[in-house]
Amino acid sequence: MSGPVLRVRDLITTFGQGAQALCAVDGVSFDVGPGEVLGLVGESGSGKSVTLRSLLRLLPAGGHVAGRVEWQGRDVLAMSEAELRGVRGGQISMIFQEPMTALNPVLPVRVQIEENLRAHTDLDGRGRRARSRELMDLVGIPDAGRRLDEYPHQFSGGMRQRVMIAIALASDPKLLLADEPTTALDVTIQDQILHLILDLRDALAMSVVFVTHDLGVVSATCDRMAVMYAGRIVEEGAVRDVFAGPRHAYTRGLLGSIPQAGAERSMLLSIEGTPPGLAAIPPGCAFNPRCDFATEICRAVRPDLAEMAPVHRAACHNAEAVAAAGSPVRSALADG
Amino acid sequence: MVEALLSAEDVSKDFAFPRSVVDLLRRRHVTAVHALNGVSLDVRRGETLGIVGESGCGKSTLARCLVRLHDCDRGRVVFDGTDIATLRGAARRRFNARVQMIFQDPYSSLNPRMSVRQILSEALRVHRMRPAGEIDGRIAELLEMVRLPADAADRHPHAFSGGQRQRIGIARALAVEPEVLVADELVSALDVSVQAQVVNLLLELQDRLDLTIVFVAHDLRLVRHISHRVAVMYLGKVVEVAPTEALFTDPRHPYTQALLAAAPEIDPGRRSRRAGARGELPSPIDLPPGCLFHTRCPHAFDRCPRDVPELGPRGPGHAAACHLDAPAPRP
Amino acid sequence: MSHIPRRALSLPRPLLLGGAILLASTLVAAFPGAVAPYDPLAMDYVNLLAPPSAAHPFGTDNFGRDVLSRVLHAYTIDMQIALFATLFPFVFGTLVGAVVGYVGGTPEAVFGRVVDAVITFPFLVLVIAIVSVLGPGLGNMYIAIGVVGWVFYARIVAAEVKVQTRLDYADAGRAMGYTHARIVFRHLLPNAITPAVVYWMTDMALAILLGSSLGYLGLGAQPPAAEWGVQIADGKNFMATAWWISVFPGIAIVITGLGFSLLGDGLAEVLRGRR
């Protein structure tokens, strides 16, 4: 296996200036391997979406990114605007949660796909037309020839998401950044889109970074996962390993919050309290006020990510105790 | 058979589009979204009935018909032996107190200009639940019941997180000491860890107060966890209703099967690489003839686009509306 | 959390400035005799059309009346106009708007046509037409403005109430079995009234302009009463030789109007921030 296609090191994203600056992403590092689907999981305010946007420096005014984002050996954060434009929507594409606002409502779909083809390929007009049709077929939109001339509002939610994926694929990207792409969709449509993304990953040899709050989606689609809390990665590992044996109390709590078959009408293993706001992140381990495993050291010292097992890292002082408590997810893996 | 406390009997509800002058002149027919198309469903005393379905299936409309936020166009809703459409004045207010609703959006369901104390004392005063002197004590009790600190009473909704606001919504509903709670997507706007807190609270309150709960949600796992019985809705109809265990282990309607197959498996060991359902929801304006699901059904045959299937028995308390008795779920 | 109280203390600057101007204006309007050096109607035939001087800082008019005293005494009438010409439209329009926005359906459709009918005519022309039927004078002017003016408030409130009605807390009120009146006036209106209050402030400024215009045309306050529009009309024949007769009342109109506008802006900021 070759090295990672994307290496992120010590990514720090802040908003605002001076003493009022809020740190949304606080020293995040991860790799994405070729053809790998990495899930970035967290609740609202965990910094997962900001992390994703920081990779392409797509931040609202006042946002500032530091650290290194190495894409094919080059630091995206150090690139000039012109170089960055070549990468954005080119080798790295992005899809969003709400396709209705991410698509331009007054342009037919064809124009929006061809626009991306014009920016990132050498195709002529005829070639672009043919290619946009191919892309619509590729993402599973029936009757592609006719639907190319329709406007975004004429598509259903699921079909709009397919259109957005078609636009993202126009430049033949090597990395797809997906920001909660199925959150606004119904479960049967979500299922279709998730399978589409996986099929495309296989067919086009893409890597995918998938931001979501839904552990079911992670379980069903991702190879590896990184759990974020209050702007930091608290646990990272292969999806199977993390689900089978979480090493961070927060991950364990999240897994326990999900109702499972066979335990109907029992109390869920909930996490008390609410995630902290950016302006009031507790000292020590940010999770300590909500943590059942918290000890003295958790309130004083912020834990760093440490290797717990091969390719399984967690930032928890009491990882042993959490591991000993076991996973709340009953797994077919463990049974068989 | 356990008595039904609240039941929908063949309830239909359309939402007509406004017609312009041009439409009137051209004598165009009224176009309408057919939100409910003959729903019959019983809610039994003390149970939790889950109602699941995707957006546009009519589950929220049904919830609103059950508490009479909407009047139904055809059919009726019966509570404790009385058609609720006939209730007037004091009787109607009494019904509103006995059947309460909790809303989905924690940010819009509380009046932003009223403090928690004002919100709760209004409910207590209007329904004369307590004499004036006992209202403050009752408010403290209610806050304790939903696990909010006592000093929450004098703050306004914006000072609370989403999960806390849902607790305030629950406290407001409980203030009038209802028998039935209709919860419309109660936790879907909340973070996962907070969802679990609210679900636990609901389970605990149900035991403590003998509540009957109608739990409307799109999240199958949640509905399975909390419900005694589950009804699955598709395009304004109940396609299957059964005790929870039977519905999830032995679904008899192809749509239920598709829905279950599509829900992402929480166990990474059971990952599937096939999509659960094909196609998309037909327009609720022009409904397909016959069985509403035939356009997406893998088992559809010539009878399906012709005949409307009725809910038929499939086991104890288990009914499905399909021309096939036991369509084989796809692997 | 420490930034919230600080924000509450530091009120927006327009609010403070506008408030200060209007407070001063109201005091002058209430006690014009306390600040005005002369009787506004006292004529001094020795000093006709005298330019500004130490004895008459704003000069005198063609009857030898002190312009400063007349400008100050005019506050009484003009601040009254600002209030009385807008109070009825504000109250009545808000009530109608709240009901129409909540009920919807046919009343809303009918109201929509009324709005169309009213805004098709230029407001000033409509008011002038009504006053000329009823006869000139302040009382009839209030009636004329009231007949037309409530429509604008009603339109603003109806739109806002309609938005609020769609929010869940309105449905929650219905599900609690609250009466429609309680839902509209206790729940929806407090959340919907902000734009109408802000508009009210602007409208008071406009009412002063309108009152002055009607005074100028001889349809509002009647001479010899001290009113800025009347004063400007009085001075129009002397613009070339005695500009001070018209210019100082004009400045008073500008400052008072500015006060209302600033207050409106500031109020909008505060009320919206509180949501």
Query: Quick check: C177 and B112 CB within 8 A?
Result: no
Neighbour-count burial of B129, counting CB atoms closer than 10 A to its CB (0-12 exposed, 13-18 middle, 19+ buried) = middle
Answer whether B264 sits within 8 Å of A219, measured CB to CB: yes
Q: What is the pLDDT of residue C89?
A: 95
pLDDT band at A331 (very low <50, low <70, confident <90, very high): low
Residue B180 lies in a domain: yes
**Pick from B92, B103, B176: CB nearest C171:** B103
What are the phi and psi torsion angles at C203 (to 5°)? -65, -35
The answer to whether residue B29 scores a pLDDT higher than 80 is no
B104 to chain C, any CB pair closer than 8 A? The answer is: yes
- Predicted confidence at residue C175, as pLDDT, reads 92
**Inter-chain contact C177–B108, Cβ cutoff 8 Å?**
no
* Within a domain: B122: yes
Q: Which of A223-227, B97-101, B161-165, C9-13 has the lowest mean pLDDT?
A: C9-13
In a domain, B136, yes or no: yes
- Contact partners for chain C, using 3 or more CB pairs closer than 8 A, are B
The answer to the question of residue B329 being in a domain is: no
Which residue of chain C comes nearest to B170, CA vs CA? C172
The pLDDT > 90 percentage for chain C reads: 59
User: Which of C168, C169, C175 is closest, CB to CB, to B96?
Assistant: C175
Domain count, chain C: 1
* Candidate from A158, A213, A216 with C-beta closest to B280: A158
Residue at C147 is within a domain: yes
pLDDT greater than 60 at residue B138 = yes
Out of C169, C175, C177, whose CB is closest to B111? C169
How large a percentage of chain C has pLDDT more than 70?
A: 95
Closest CA–CA distance from residue B161 to any residue of chain C (Å)? 14
Per-position b or e across A124-150, b if 16+ CB within 10 A of its CB: eeeebbebbbebbebbbbeebeebbee
User: Is residue C45 situated within a structural domain?
Assistant: no
Cross-chain Cβ contact B264/A186 below 8 Å: no
The CATH number for B99's domain is 3.40.50.300
Per-residue pLDDT tens over the stretch C90-103 = 999 999 999 999 99
The residue among B98, B102, B111 with the most chain C CBs within 10 A of its CB, best to mutate, is B111
Task: Tell whether C3 is covered by a domain.
Answer: no
Domain assignment of residue B209, given as a range: 4-237
Tell me the percentage of chain A whose pLDDT exceeds 90.
61
Segment B217-239 shows an average pLDDT of 94
Contact check, Cβ <8 Å, B193/A191: no
- Judged by CB atoms closer than 8 Å, whether chains meet at A264 and B224 is answered as yes
Q: What CA–CA distance (Å, rounded) separates A45 from B294?
A: 42
pLDDT at C8 > cutoff 50: no
Is residue B274 in some structural domain? no
pLDDT tier at C200 (50, 70, 90 boundaries)? very high
Q: Is residue B59 classed exposed, middle or buried when 0-12, 13-18 and 19+ CB atoms within 10 A define those classes? A: buried
Instruction: Give the mean model confidence (pLDDT) for residues A312-327.
Output: 92
DSSP secondary structure of B72-122 = -SEEEEEETTEEGGG--HHHHHHHHHHEEEE-S-TTTSS-TTS-HHHHHHH
Asked if residue C20 belongs to a domain, the reply is: yes
CA–CA distances in Å: residue A57 to residues A4, A50, A119, B100: 20, 10, 19, 48
Q: Do B220 and A187 touch (CB under 8 A)?
A: yes
Is residue A21 scored above 90 in pLDDT?
Answer: no
pLDDT digits (tens, 9 = 90+) for A46-104: 999 999 999 999 988 889 999 999 998 899 999 999 899 888 888 999 998 887 788 89
Question: C195 in a domain, yes or no?
Answer: yes
**B92 in reach of chain C (CB within 8 A):** yes
Tell which B residues from 3 to 62 touch A, by Cβ distance under 8 Å: 54-55
Q: Tell me whether residue C6 is in a domain.
A: no
| Phi, then psi, of A171 in degrees rounded to 5 | -90, 10
Predicted local confidence at residue B127, as pLDDT: 93
Indicate whether C145 belongs to any domain: yes
Q: Would an 8 Å CB–CB cutoff place B98 in contact with chain C?
A: no
Count of structural domains, chain B: 1
Asked if residue B112 belongs to a domain, the reply is yes
Query: Is B67 within a domain?
Result: yes
Domain with C242, as residue range(s), is 12-40+56-274
Phi and psi for B250 in degrees, rounded to 5? -140, 60
Q: How far is A68 from chain B, CA to nearest CA, in Å? A: 30
> pLDDT at position A217, please?
93
> Touching A: which chains, 3+ CB pairs < 8 A?
B
- What mean pLDDT is predicted for residues C46-68? 90
A1, pLDDT greater than 70: no
pLDDT at C126: 87
Of B197, B218, B273, the CB nearest to A195: B273
Output the domain CATH number for residue C93: 1.10.3720.10
B229 in any annotated domain: yes
| Mean pLDDT score of chain A | 90
- Per-residue pLDDT of B274-311, as tens digits, reads 777 778 888 888 889 999 999 999 999 999 999 999 99
CB pairs under 8 A between B and C: 60
Q: Tell me the average pLDDT across B244-260.
A: 94
